Structure 1
Amino acid sequence: MNIVPRARKALPMLKSALALGAARATGRRLPYSITFILTHRCNFQCDYCDIPAAAGSEMSEAEFCGAIDELAAAGMARASFSGGEVLIRPDALAILRHAKSRGLFTSLNSNGWLVERHIDALAGTLDMLVVSIDGPETSHDLVRKKRGSYGRVLRAVELARSRGIAVATITVLSKSNLHVVDDVLALAEKHGFWAYFQPAYADCFDHGRGLDPALGPDVLAALARDLGHARAEGRPVAASPGFLERLGKGPAFGDCGPCHAGRYFGTVMPDGTVVPCHLVSQEAKYPNGREVGFVRAFLEMPHPTSGPGCAISPYQESDLIFGLDARAIRAAFERILRTPRA
């Protein structure tokens, strides 16, 4: 595939790099990359996920678009949209279109069930699609408790790629699917996507409760070693070497204190609360952008002083990128610009 159209998609981030550099040089916060969690509601009930149980107040389309406007004016270059399942909101596509109209790099996390229905609207609006996959068909549909979900994920991958949208998957590993890593990598090679892997947490909003009990230090070390070998062989492992190094030292994954979450990237919750990341969203009283403005909320939110770090692959990769880890930066552009081949 010609990489020129995809290279153009990275321009918003490159154009804002000078502002990011100035912020880093002065120690000033900058909302460069923001994840908007549009809803905690979901049409699935996955074994490892308790996010739908937190469903509650949600901002309106106008409020989310207003938040995007505020943060874009303050230097946001990348807007990621997540849930729950984003596409169950009737106004989700309008919110994504608004972000793209502001010249932002856009990405969407989805379970894939509704992607085919909306693919024409997503084309031209979305730069990167990240879909969840839990292994081959039997494992995936069992974890998802939704027959046919595996087929819809692969169809979503196929359709997104045909529209020039970069594609990655995330496989959340728990005791039920630790054996699927090689199967997912084989799928990635066959269908042309990048594959992330990350451990499951006991509580999606409280990293202090730790990981799935089956994921002890020996398991994590072996997982990091196997993924490192696969990456060295040229297989489509999305993780950068820095993430794999941190994964291998689990269940403590660095330290929350120096993490760049809340400094150069952050999360807007469905009700407008602005937090460094969803895993620490219950650890402090965080400001709400609807009350004080979203830029002010980002700049004034408390930052964790310590903690065991996290195993969430997008957060870890973002932390490495904003920490100027050259390997993570190179891997990020590779994911955007290159389609894996078998």
Structure 2
Amino acid sequence: MLRPYITLAKNILVSNLKRLDFPYKLTYALTYRCNYRCKTCNIWQKRPVHELSLKEIQQFFRKSPDFSWIDLTGGEVFLRKDFVDIVEVVLSSCTKLVLLHFPTNGYLIDKIVTAVQKIMTWRPEKLIITVSMDGDETVNDEVRGIKGGWRRQIETFKQLHTIPGVKVVLGMTLSAYNADQVEVAFQAAKRECDWLEYEDFHINIAHVSGHYYGNDDQDPYQGCRETLVEEVKKYMRHRGIPLHPVAFLEREYLKRVERYLQTGKTPVRCHSLKSSCFLDPFGNVYPCGMYSRVVGSLRESDYDLSRIWNSEKCRQLQKEIWAYQCPQCWTPCEAYQSILGSLLRRDHASE
């Protein structure tokens, strides 16, 4: 259907000119449950109590169905026993949805593959799944804290690759623990998956967050900023000229990593609360995954996001973010819609 794509294009265009009446992108952390022990993230230490129930999630999406792009994340999303039911709610409620994305650590091979096969029977417009991988077998299992994790991640990637209609990629988060390991990680994966191309292997840089990762006492780039910049440049040379919209967004994101690492300032004016927002497992709405300012609670707003989005508190906080009065980050979760929202103007940090 063309209508969802037209709606998305319209929202992107309007976001270049003004704040949207409703966000077209939602990042929803379904759970903080996690069966890994990553060094760069402390989500696994959190107690996942009083998460939104399936009934509450149904109420939310029934009253807030106008998203074009949804990221369902965690924690590990497949640790929610009702994950497939949640996806069904999303797909049946959000008739304008163009893109559904979720990451997985890939450990629960059979559960993940079976769930994705079921999801594909509902024919989502576009489904992208990222299987996390932070190095070759040795480095990955050291960074992610689970022996045997890499083997299971690769097996999940292989099996998801065989499901028609699914776009599955490997995702590597760069930090001081693996800054110089991009090519090593790619070649290790390619030995197991001979079809693998750089287009199937995505990279980003680690971040800190108090309310999300619980790691705001860390410096993920300590002693490795120059290495990170060089690794990103080499990776971009491998990727070449972008030939589709997602590749374009990735390249625009990676082009600005160096500036972010040098200045610590968001390279493009942030569109959090202008085009997008973040929802935690308990129904709290934040600007994004990095900024620990609660905008409102779904449970206190009759599960209607528009009541929070159109509040004076939300509008004022968006103005502060636009003026760089926030923690400053450069994560794809926020960068992509910020890049799309600055196509018609120079919304750069140097202004």
Q: TM-score, normalised by structure 2?
A: 0.78
Match for 1:106 among 100, 108, 133? 100
SS at match of 1:153: helix
SS at match of 2:259: coil
SS at match of 1:129: strand
Contact 2:27 2:333 in 1 (8 A): no
Provide the residue aligned with 2:135 in structure 1: 135
Q: Kindly tell me: are residues 268 and 55 of structure 1, through their superposed partners in 2, closer, same or farther at Cα, counting changes over 3 Å?
A: same
Task: Determine the C-alpha separation between the residues in 2 that align with 1:38 and 1:63.
Answer: 12
SS at match of 2:100: strand
SS at match of 1:179: coil
Task: Determine the C-alpha separation between the residues in 2 that align with 1:18 and 1:175.
Answer: 40
Q: Kindly tell me: are residues 169 and 235 of structure 1, through their superposed partners in 2, closer, same or farther at Cα, counting changes over 3 Å?
A: farther
> Is 1:240 matched with 2:237?
no
- Residues 286-318 of structure 1 show CA distances to partners (whole Å, capped at 9, x for unaligned) of 211221221222333222242463132232223
Residue range with higher mean Cα deviation, 110-119 or 248-257: 248-257
Q: Kindly tell me: are residues 61 and 167 of structure 1, through their superposed partners in 2, closer, same or farther at Cα, counting changes over 3 Å?
A: same
Residue range with higher mean Cα deviation, 163-172 or 91-100: 163-172
> Is 1:123 matched with 2:112?
no
Provide the residue aligned with 1:324 in structure 2: 343
SS at match of 1:295: helix
Task: Determine the C-alpha separation between the residues in 2 that align with 1:324 and 1:68.
Answer: 30
Q: Kindly tell me: are residues 227 and 256 of structure 1, through their superposed partners in 2, closer, same or farther at Cα, counting changes over 3 Å?
A: closer
SS at match of 1:323: coil
SS at match of 1:154: helix
SS at match of 2:64: helix
Provide the residue aligned with 1:4 in structure 2: none
Q: How many residues are treated as equivalent by the alignment?
A: 314
Letter in 1 for 2:336: E
Match for 1:30 among 2, 22, 36? 22
Contact 1:246 1:253 in 2 (8 A): no
Contact 2:260 2:267 in 1 (8 A): no
Letter in 1 for 2:256: R
Contact 1:275 1:298 in 2 (8 A): no
Provide the residue aligned with 2:61 in structure 1: 68
Provide the residue aligned with 1:150 in structure 2: 150
Provide the residue aligned with 2:299 in structure 1: 290
Q: Kindly tell me: are residues 321 and 167 of structure 1, through their superposed partners in 2, closer, same or farther at Cα, counting changes over 3 Å?
A: farther
Q: TM-score, normalised by structure 1?
A: 0.80
- Residues 62-109 of structure 1 show CA distances to partners (whole Å, capped at 9, x for unaligned) of 11222222221xx31122100001110111110011111233232111
In structure 1, stretches of 5+ residues that fail to align are: 1-7, 327-342
- Residues 136-184 of structure 1 show CA distances to partners (whole Å, capped at 9, x for unaligned) of 1122222222233212222222222221201122211222222320133
**What is the Cα-based RMSD across aligned positions, in Å?**
3.1
Tell me the percent identity. 21
In structure 2, stretches of 5+ residues that fail to align are: 346-351
Match for 1:269 among 276, 280, 287? 280
- Residues 253-286 of structure 1 show CA distances to partners (whole Å, capped at 9, x for unaligned) of 5439931122112111111111121110x2x342
Q: Kindly tell me: are residues 158 and 11 of structure 1, through their superposed partners in 2, closer, same or farther at Cα, counting changes over 3 Å?
A: farther
Matches within 5 A, 1:1-342: 12-22=4-14, 24-56=16-48, 57-72=50-65, 75-102=66-93, 103=95, 104=97, 105-114=99-108, 115-125=112-122, 127-163=127-163, 164-186=165-187, 187=189, 190-191=195-196, 194-203=200-209, 205=212, 211-232=219-240, 240-251=250-261, 252=263, 254-255=265-266, 258-280=269-291, 282=292, 284-292=293-301, 293-300=304-311, 301=314, 302-303=317-318, 304=321, 305-306=323-324, 307=326, 309-324=328-343
